[in-house]
Each structure stands twice: as C-alpha cells, then as structure tokens.
Structure 1
Amino acid sequence: MARIRIWIQTKPDDTGRSRYQVMCSEHGPVGDPHELHASAESAQSTHHHDHKAALPHRTE
C-alpha cells in the first residue's frame, strides 16, 4: 500500500494575501483554500482521519 502524504501549501491570492491549501498525494487539492493556517491544519487533520477511517480494519 502506497503511503499517502497530506500537507499544507501556501499560495498568494490575487490581492497578495496568503491562502493555505490542503493537498493530498492521492486526491490533490482538498476543499477550498483557507485564510488562516490554523483552519488549514484542522482540515488537514480531518482529511487524514478520513483516510484512516477508509482503511480496512485489521484483525490478527
């Protein structure tokens, strides 16, 4: 199984203000860009948990 990477990419918008886009190696951009880094961190965490929930439950 390939390792999935989720990160926050900073990009300036048309006015020069920074926007924080959550990126996923499997899905590309996740949602809309955020104005606050803290909001992007929350979205990053949520997306990470979505990937964990999608994994088949291991029983050994």
Structure 2
Amino acid sequence: MNREKLTKFILQYGDELLGEQVKTIDLPALEAELSKIKGIGDKRLKEIMVVIEKFLDV
C-alpha cells in the first residue's frame, strides 16, 4: 500500500467512525433542569418539551 492509498484509507475509516457517533439527549434530565429556571411553570415547561421533542423527531 502506497502513501496515497494509506491516506485515503485512514480518512475513509475516520469518516466512518465519526458517522457511528450518536449524540443522545436525556429528555427527563433536560426537563428537570429546565423546570429549575425561575419563571417557567409546568404549563410552559410542557410547551417547551413539545417543541424540543418535535425538533428531535421523538
């Protein structure tokens, strides 16, 4: 394997590894943290969570 082929292989392998990474959000933990913000009541919190879930396609 020459240098060009090795470089191509390493870059392709790196791209595949990055593609496998999945970020997750703990929605109950997020909701708990948002509920601690002064001025956000239960009703507003539910509205916010609906928007977040819609954005994440949950």
TM-score by length of 2: 0.34
Higher strand share: 1
Q: In terms of Rg, which structure is larger?
A: 2
TM-score by length of 1: 0.33
Higher helix share: 2
RCO higher in structure (CA 8 A, sep ≥6): 1
